[in-house]
Amino acid sequence: MAAARWVCRACGIVYDEAKGDPDSGIAPGTRFEDIPEDWRCPVCGVGKADFMPMPEAPVRTAAPCAAPRGRGIVVVGAGTAGWAFARAVRERDPDVPVTLVTACDGDVYHKPLLSVSVAKGKRREDLVQAGGAAKARELGVRLVCRAVALRIDAVRRRLVTTRGTIAYRDLVVATGSRPRRLPLEGDAAGEVIAVNDLEGYARLASVAKRGRRVAILGAGLVGCELAANLAEAGVGVLLVDCAAGPLAGQVAPEAAAALASRLAALGIATRWSSRARTLRREGAGLSLGFDDGTEERVDAVVGATGLEPAARLVAKAGLADASGIPVETGSLRTSDPHVYAIGECASARGVRYGYIEPIVAQAEACAAILTGGEAAFEPEPPLVRLKMPALPMAWGRVAGAASPLAWRTAGGVPGEACYEAGEHGKLEAFVLTGALADRAGEWQARLAR
Amino acid sequence: MEAATRAPAAVDIAGTIERVRALAQSRVAPLAARIDREGHYPADVLRALGEAGAFRQHLASQSGTGQADLLGAIQSMAAVSAECLSTGFMTWCQDACGWYLECSDNPWPREHLLPKLAAGERLGGTGLSNPMKHYSQIEALRLAAVETPEGFLVNGTLPWVSNLGPGHLFGTIFSVAGRGSPRDVMALVDCAEPGVSLRPCPPFMAMDGTGTYAVQFENVMIPRERVLADPVGPYLQTIRGGFILLQAGMAAGLVSSCIQLMREVEPLLGHVNDFCDDGPDALEAELADALSEVGTLCHAPLDPSPEFFREVLEVRLVAGELSLRAAQSAMLHQGARGYLMSSPAQRKVRESYFVAIVTPALKHLRKELDRLARAA
């Protein structure tokens, strides 16, 4: 049977027998072979011989490309985890394309220094170990800075950002954490300073420079360090916590009491068992209102009430839950085989690792896996240090230790003491204060595994 | 004063999209090239689309069901845009104008003008491009007004307002000084109002027949009954989601027609088109994903929260990027035949830039998303 449609090999126009070519005097219904031999393609002018029957079925010779071409590893986040990962990948594979996407400039800095550098007069730029662009050049990675990662198209393996859409072979989410929002009311509720990145540090440093009175909400590790550091810098400090003292639940009560009296000795005013409710502008300053109805005049408020995982990016792709981004502990892989999460946003069996050591270990394990190696992240109990010259402290505890712990004194005098917890000769947790904190390594090694 | 028009007659809602599609194929498609290149403004076709119900689906007061079916409006707009993005864009203009009236607290325009806009008896557009850019700190507000006892006396020039003509309506925003506190006010403008003049724009690279003009205001009196929101702030937060979501119809129509162009040449060129970057199957899946997201967001389009707005802007960004890729891919799949001036493929390429440039442009969306992410 003759084809009803013929196609020009040169230009692709279709001669449809049903429609004919009225412009050239070929009536509808004229069969192709009945067209005069001097007829020409109405579009490109070639002759009848250059037409062929329109193929009915797709002609495929090549399989659709299985592996996306030219795609590499894309990392979101240029904090401790993101840069540690980039470095670890480069140590193993000089060639795999690595793109680092970050909402900031990607400057490299040591995050634990943010809470202890004001008294030393450090400016934001003094904390920068290397500029983002320079570090990217050094490692041979592409840095896409000032780009907010908006969403993951997991099916097509693409990351949509405010600076363009980037295709990935594997995606590593290292978005870290964000300060937990305080349920404050009032017209200045949005003025709370969070010292969670270099920009937050810059705000803190500028507040401190003017020698004002600053309230710090939250007396955990960071809150205590900030309080001591600002006091040392000559700033009036009010430290607030809803618990009865600092480091609640983290260390032995005797250690917390020693810390509380040392904070008081530094001239830091404290409000324990107290919750801030409102923050309002008052004149040139702020008025911080508490749950008992009282108010305190301050010039700035710093929030240190903890962090939550920054997981919005992956939430829509169904890869996040309330704990953060669930990953398989060893491989750091999410439920998507091409998406990994490391650092403070990743949640391994409900546990998030917020200290430098485990974050770097996660980055290295993930880098090994993504460069074809075999590795697994093995969680170790982190050794935590309170960087406060007036009372250094160090502590550690095994995962899954009973809570609350039954602490006992293991020696020393208040202010320079060891406290431990555990049963049947198994050390489950320890706290070292004062000069004894230098021996944390030995204690850490003794923790029951 | 204009008489209140009748309540909408019982409308065959389910059939609207099919009726619109049939009109798009029979009446819009043959005009596409003229609209694109000769600046032909298809007023009759727009009225016919209105009669078919294309402009009322998203308006609960006019849809005949009491429901606002934004997704239905988007699908109708997509059917039109697949044949001619200019006409699809004018469908959006008309839809947006109706949306402003529907969402306003002022009953006068809703009672006297909305039924006619919804039926396509009166045509209208939207002068929100400049204000939207203003609120994203991209440019200054171009219209300024002085408040008088009767209303507002407006002066200035608004560039690039589409779907206009004598007697057409459009909504826009001006700043107000004088009596009362300085603020921004949104109102409906009639092109027939004394002092309003339409100046034609130089020819565009595509979509010339969209009735696009620079609108000059010389002491134009806007009576209070035409005010849509005073002050505009909270109102803007409720209309912005629908305004942007509806644009998905343009993208969806363009992309689906590009996929169609790729499929058309598959029998002949499939063996070599396999080496193109974005194939029709992949694009079709992406379009389906984006539309399903749009459908979800259409359920509560008046949500004023920043989080909802972020979602809307994101899916709009995805739609804009997808339009560019789909048109590029359609062109590359079609090859030489797509390069002919008579081919729709080359027109799609030019049209796709419109989806990326019309307010909110891709760069504008990214700037706004950056701001919202940092504020969250």
The string of pLDDT tens digits covering residues A123-143 is 999 999 999 999 999 999 999
Buried b (16+ CB within 10 A) or exposed e, B354-366: bbbebbbbbebbb
Tokens of B211: 């009735």
Spell out which residues of chain B touch residue A160, defining contact as CB-CB under 8 Å. 314, 317-318, 321
Per-residue model confidence (pLDDT) at position B328: 98
Higher pLDDT, B160 or B255: B255
Spell out which residues of chain A touch residue B274, defining contact as CB-CB under 8 Å. 60-65
Spell out which residues of chain B touch residue A11, defining contact as CB-CB under 8 Å. 336-337, 340
User: How distant is the Cα of A56 from the closest Cα of chain B, in angstroms?
Assistant: 6
Per-residue model confidence (pLDDT) at position A403: 77
At residue A146, what is the residue type? R
Does ipTM come in above 0.90?
no
Q: Among the ranges A199-213, A390-404, B110-124, which has the highest mean pLDDT value?
A: B110-124
Asked whether residue B17 carries a pLDDT value surpassing 50, the answer given is: yes
Spell out which residues of chain B touch residue A64, defining contact as CB-CB under 8 Å. 274, 279
Residue window 75-104, chain A: list those with CB within 8 Å of chain B: 103
**Could you tell me if B234 lies within 8 Å of chain A, comparing CB atoms?**
no
Interchain contact, B337 vs A56, CB within 8 Å: no
Please name the member of A13, A160, A165 whose beta carbon is closest to the beta carbon of B337. A13
At residue A130, what is the residue type? A
- Please state the φ and ψ torsions of residue A349, each to the nearest 5 degrees: 50, 45
Spell out which residues of chain B touch residue A67, defining contact as CB-CB under 8 Å. none
Which SS3 state, helix, strand or coil, does residue A209 take? helix
Which residue, among B101, B103, B121, has the nearest Cα to B111 in the 3D structure? B101
Asked whether residue B15 carries a pLDDT value surpassing 80, the answer given is: yes
How far apart (Å, rounded) are the C-alpha atoms in residues B270 and B333? 9
CA distances from B144 to A319, B176, B217 (A): 49, 6, 10
Average pLDDT over residues B272-281: 91
**Could you tell me if B263 lies within 8 Å of chain A, comparing CB atoms?**
no
Interchain contact, B270 vs A59, CB within 8 Å: yes
User: How distant is the Cα of B333 from the closest Cα of chain A, in angstroms?
Assistant: 12
* In contact, B339 and B375? CB cutoff 8 Å: no
**Could you tell me if A61 lies within 8 Å of chain B, comparing CB atoms?**
yes
Neighbours of A395 (CB within 10 A): 26
User: How distant is the Cα of A191 from the closest Cα of chain B, in angstroms?
Assistant: 12
| Residues pairing with A288 in the sheet | A279, A296
User: How distant is the Cα of A347 from the closest Cα of chain B, in angstroms?
Assistant: 22
How far apart (Å, rounded) are the C-alpha atoms in residues A440 and A396? 8
Per-residue model confidence (pLDDT) at position A70: 65
Which SS3 state, helix, strand or coil, does residue A254 take? helix
Higher pLDDT, A400 or B226: B226
SS3 content of chain B, % helix, strand, coil (to 5): 55, 15, 30
Interchain contact, A62 vs B374, CB within 8 Å: no
DSSP at B31: G
Interchain contact, A60 vs B334, CB within 8 Å: no
* In contact, B103 and B238? CB cutoff 8 Å: yes
**Could you tell me if B266 lies within 8 Å of chain A, comparing CB atoms?**
yes
**Could you tell me if B66 lies within 8 Å of chain A, comparing CB atoms?**
no
DSSP at A8: E
Tokens of A169: 């072979």
Which residue, among B159, B141, B142, B133, has the nearest Cα to B364 in the 3D structure? B133
- Please state the φ and ψ torsions of residue B188, each to the nearest 5 degrees: -100, 130
pLDDT in tens, A103-124: 999 999 999 999 999 999 999 9
Asked whether residue A66 carries a pLDDT value surpassing 60, the answer given is: no
**Could you tell me if B176 lies within 8 Å of chain A, comparing CB atoms?**
no
**Could you tell me if A402 lies within 8 Å of chain B, comparing CB atoms?**
no
User: How distant is the Cα of A192 from the closest Cα of chain B, in angstroms?
Assistant: 13
pLDDT bucket at B2, cuts 50 / 70 / 90: very low
How buried is residue A67: exposed, middle or buried, by Cβ count under 10 Å (0-12/13-18/19+)? exposed
Please name the member of A11, A65, A312 whose beta carbon is closest to the beta carbon of B337. A11
pLDDT in tens, B298-338: 999 999 999 999 999 999 999 999 999 999 999 999 999 99
Spell out which residues of chain A touch residue B370, defining contact as CB-CB under 8 Å. 103, 146, 148, 162
How far apart (Å, rounded) are the C-alpha atoms in residues A405 and B146? 71
Per-residue model confidence (pLDDT) at position A59: 52
Per-residue model confidence (pLDDT) at position A57: 63
pLDDT bucket at B194, cuts 50 / 70 / 90: very high
The residue of chain A with its CA nearest to that of B366 is A162
Tokens of B258: 């590009």
Spell out which residues of chain B touch residue A60, defining contact as CB-CB under 8 Å. 270-271, 274
**What global pTM score does this model have?**
0.85
**Could you tell me if B314 lies within 8 Å of chain A, comparing CB atoms?**
yes
Average pLDDT over residues A418-431: 91
Per-residue model confidence (pLDDT) at position B179: 63
Interchain contact, B335 vs A12, CB within 8 Å: yes
Which residue, among A347, A346, A344, has the nearest Cα to A356 in the 3D structure? A344
Asked whether residue A258 carries a pLDDT value surpassing 80, the answer given is: yes
Asked whether residue A198 carries a pLDDT value surpassing 50, the answer given is: yes
pLDDT in tens, A261-294: 999 999 999 999 999 999 999 998 999 999 999 9
Per-residue model confidence (pLDDT) at position A69: 52
The residue of chain B with its CA nearest to that of A52 is B268
**Could you tell me if B335 lies within 8 Å of chain A, comparing CB atoms?**
yes
Buried b (16+ CB within 10 A) or exposed e, B195-232: ebebeebeebebbbbbbbbebebeebebeeebbbbbeb
Residue window 359-398, chain A: list those with CB within 8 Å of chain B: none
**Could you tell me if B286 lies within 8 Å of chain A, comparing CB atoms?**
yes
DSSP at A76: E
User: How many residues are present in chain A?
Assistant: 449
Asked whether residue B10 carries a pLDDT value surpassing 60, the answer given is: no
Which residue, among A220, A346, A217, has the nearest Cα to A277 in the 3D structure? A217
pLDDT bucket at B92, cuts 50 / 70 / 90: very high
pLDDT bucket at B13, cuts 50 / 70 / 90: low
- Please state the φ and ψ torsions of residue A390, each to the nearest 5 degrees: -70, -30
How far apart (Å, rounded) are the C-alpha atoms in residues A270 and A245? 9
Interchain contact, B274 vs A7, CB within 8 Å: no
Higher pLDDT, A69 or B52: B52
How buried is residue B82: exposed, middle or buried, by Cβ count under 10 Å (0-12/13-18/19+)? buried
At residue B2, what is the residue type? E
Interchain contact, A12 vs B270, CB within 8 Å: no
User: How distant is the Cα of A413 from the closest Cα of chain B, in angstroms?
Assistant: 47
Average pLDDT over residues A32-44: 88
Which residue, among B147, B232, B135, B233, has the nearest Cα to B188 in the 3D structure? B232
Which residue, among A172, A157, A165, A161, has the nearest Cα to A67 in the 3D structure? A157
Spell out which residues of chain A touch residue B376, defining contact as CB-CB under 8 Å. 312
Tell me the CA end-to-end span of chain B in Å, nearest whole number: 47
Asked whether residue B50 carries a pLDDT value surpassing 90, the answer given is: yes
> Average pLDDT over chain B, rounded to whole?
93
User: How distant is the Cα of B193 from the closest Cα of chain A, in angstroms?
Assistant: 42
**Could you tell me if B177 lies within 8 Å of chain A, comparing CB atoms?**
no
Q: How remote is the C-alpha of A332 from its chain's centroid?
A: 14
Per-residue model confidence (pLDDT) at position B3: 42
Interchain contact, A103 vs B374, CB within 8 Å: yes
CB pairs under 8 A between A and B: 71
Give just the sign of the alpha carbon dihedral A42, A44, A45, A50. negative
Which SS3 state, helix, strand or coil, does residue A26 take? strand
How far apart (Å, rounded) are the C-alpha atoms in residues B372 and B369? 5
Per-residue model confidence (pLDDT) at position B11: 54
Asked whether residue B8 carries a pLDDT value surpassing 70, the answer given is: no
Per DSSP, the residues of B166-207 read TT-EEEEEEEEESSSS-EEEEEEEETTSTTEEEEEPPPPSS-
Strand (E) or helix (H) holding A109: strand A108-109
How far apart (Å, rounded) are the C-alpha atoms in residues A81 and A73? 14
How far apart (Å, rounded) are the C-alpha atoms in residues A302 and A294? 19
Interchain contact, B373 vs A56, CB within 8 Å: no
> Average pLDDT over chain A, rounded to whole?
91
Tell me the CA end-to-end span of chain A in Å, nearest whole number: 81
Strand (E) or helix (H) holding A151: strand A149-153
Average pLDDT over residues B241-268: 96
Spell out which residues of chain B touch residue A59, defining contact as CB-CB under 8 Å. 267-268, 270-271
| Residues pairing with A170 in the sheet | A73
Give just the sign of the alpha carbon dihedral A249, A254, A255, A259. positive
Which residue, among A372, A42, A106, has the nearest Cα to B337 in the 3D structure? A42
The residue of chain A with its CA nearest to that of B273 is A60
**Could you tell me if A446 lies within 8 Å of chain B, comparing CB atoms?**
no
Spell out which residues of chain B touch residue A153, defining contact as CB-CB under 8 Å. 286, 289
* In contact, B253 and B79? CB cutoff 8 Å: yes
How far apart (Å, rounded) are the C-alpha atoms in residues B283 and B265? 16
Which residue, among A301, A127, A275, has the nearest Cα to A199 in the 3D structure? A127
At residue A27, what is the residue type? A
Tokens of A448: 């029951």
Please name the member of B268, B286, B366 whose beta carbon is closest to the beta carbon of A7. B268
Which residue, among A385, A381, A387, has the nearest Cα to A444 in the 3D structure? A381
Asked whether residue A68 carries a pLDDT value surpassing 50, the answer given is: no
Tokens of A8: 């020009």
How buried is residue A438: exposed, middle or buried, by Cβ count under 10 Å (0-12/13-18/19+)? exposed
